[in-house]
Amino acid sequence: MRLRDLSHTEKPGAELHELMIDSSVARAMQEHELLQNELMDIYVQARKIGSEGDLKQMNRDVRQLGDSVKRFMKHWSDHAHWEDEQLFPNAASVLGTEPELFSLMEREHELAEEYIRVFMQALERAVFPIDQEEARKLTALLLQAHAVLKNRFREEEEIMLELTDRSNAYGF
């Protein structure tokens, strides 16, 4: 009778753990979709600026791009903090400790932030109106950040799929 009671008390913990993992994965996927949409918008804006013919419009677009980047960085920062505090610890508990994977992702995160930081600093120092060549140099930084972050999101989604698969396989 005691074994039966013990197995009964373990099941709710496993179900709770599975629910936490499923909830974390669902939240991460939802936030990734929103962040990727924002990132794609920044990419489209940056590409447009590189081919802009009207300098007045291009300068307005550069300023608007700066606003879009600020919004994205706020959302991305909030998401990254949540990942560090909840998603990655949950992932490590299911996947085991894979420090190389998480350290590589952290370096990518820092690289993307560096591109964006340099863009924002250059934008703040820019004397408007800027010419097309300067606008291209600015937007090239964002195109680099886009490439890094696109890869980062893909890697995180692979981790989430593996997390879901292992969680279900182990009965969490």
Q: What confidence tens digit (pLDDT) does each residue in 20-65 have?
A: 888 989 999 999 999 999 999 999 999 999 787 899 999 999 999 9
What would the pLDDT profile of 117-172 be if each residue is shown by its tens digit? 999 999 999 999 999 999 999 999 999 999 999 999 998 888 888 887 776 655 54
Q: How confident is the model at residue 9 (pLDDT cuts 50, 70, 90)?
A: very low
Instruction: Using the predicted structure, report yes or no on whether residue 2 has a pLDDT greater than 60.
Output: no
Which has more confidence, 126 or 7? 126
Distance of alpha carbon 169 from the chain centroid: 27
Residue 1: the pLDDT is 34
Q: What is the CATH number of the domain that holds 131?
A: 1.20.120
Residue 11: the pLDDT is 47
What would the pLDDT profile of 63-117 be if each residue is shown by its tens digit? 999 999 999 999 999 999 998 888 888 777 777 756 567 788 889 999 999 999 9
Q: What is the residue range of 41's domain? A: 2-169
Match 């939802």 to its residue by tokens: 30
Per the structure, the count of domains in the chain is: 1
